[in-house]
């Protein structure tokens, strides 16, 4: 039996990268999935891959910045599976590093609307069914916020806002049996791979800061997500760095 047998999870930003890795890990542990992804082609590919493995999947194409998308995802989870137990907020608009002085209002809005407000939308929409049985919310932070990364002021600010939101709501919802935590990964996402392709010196410098000498894999992040999502977990309001020791707060 899997740790998450019979449970239902919504995973945003699950068309590729860490979102897809975490969705797959939850499914391997027994969860049924509702995938939410902005890009339809990525969504179809991700859902098809999981369905080919016999996993029950509902696929929703939509922008997490739209509260109606969150409401629809929750409604479809309940209509299809009868319950909602886990929410992973992984969707986030990304951009390559750019100096702070060049980051305009539109840049900040894209980061905050997709990351912070997307997380708010799905948390608020998911609260009623999560309250019925208790459950787990996993939000995504970043070392760009906890430690600071050059060229990622808006991104780091959005991620730190998510951590503040997580701590506050963890205290508010704890009495309802809802645990809320943050994962800060340092993993080789598709965007990071593209960034380092022409910058081997930057990759070497980044790895020198890592105690384990490598970035996390999707399986590393997925294993942590399964642990945090499991009813056996008694952790809430915390930030867990899954980065091989790159950040040691």
Active site positions, annotated: 155
> How is residue 228 written in tokens?
């945090």
Could you tell me how many residues make up the chain? 249
Three-class secondary structure of residue 95 per DSSP: coil
Q: Vertex 65, ends 64 and 70: CA angle to 5°?
A: 45
Residues 6+ apart with CB under 8 A from 26: 4, 9, 11, 33, 86, 88, 222, 225, 226, 229
Three-class secondary structure of residue 214 per DSSP: coil
> How is residue 245 written in tokens?
């020791």
Strands (E), the chain: 8-12, 32-37, 57-61, 86-89, 135-140, 178-185, 239-242
Q: Vertex 192, ends 104 and 15: CA angle to 5°?
A: 90
Q: Which residue has the tokens 């645990």?
A: 179
The answer to whether 78 and 111 have CB atoms below 8 angstroms apart is no
Q: Is 210 exposed, middle or buried (0-12, 13-18, 19+ CB in 10 A)?
A: middle
């Amino acid at each position: 039996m899997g740790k998450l047998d019979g449970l239902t999870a919504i995973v945003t930003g699950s068309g590729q990268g860490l979102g897809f890795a975490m969705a797959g890990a939850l499914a391997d542990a027994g969860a049924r999935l509702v995938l939410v992804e902005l890009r339809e082609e990525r969504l179809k590919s991700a859902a098809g891959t999981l369905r080919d493995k016999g996993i029950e999947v509902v696929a929703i194409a939509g922008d997490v910045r739209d509260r109606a998308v969150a409401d629809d995802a929750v409604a479809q989870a309940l209509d299809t599976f009868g319950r909602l137990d886990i929410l992973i907020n992984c969707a986030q608009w990304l951009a390559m590093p750019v100096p702070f002085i060049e980051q305009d209002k539109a840049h900040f809005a894209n980061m905050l609307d997709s990351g912070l407000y997307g997380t708010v939308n799905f948390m608020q929409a998911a609260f009623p069914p999560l309250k019925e049985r208790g459950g787990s919310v996993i939000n995504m932070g970043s070392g760009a916020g906890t430690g600071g990364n050059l060229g990622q002021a808006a991104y780091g600010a959005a991620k730190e806002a998510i951590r503040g939101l997580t701590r506050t709501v963890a205290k508010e919802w704890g009495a309802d049996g809802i645990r809320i935590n943050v994962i800060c990964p340092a993993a080789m996402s598709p965007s990071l791979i593209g960034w380092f392709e022409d910058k081997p010196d930057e990759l070497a410098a980044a790895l020198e800061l890592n105690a384990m000498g490598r970035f996390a894999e999707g399986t590393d992040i997925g294993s942590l997500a399964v642990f945090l999502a499991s009813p056996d977990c008694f952790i809430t309001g915390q930030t867990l760095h899954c980065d091989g020791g790159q950040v040691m707060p």
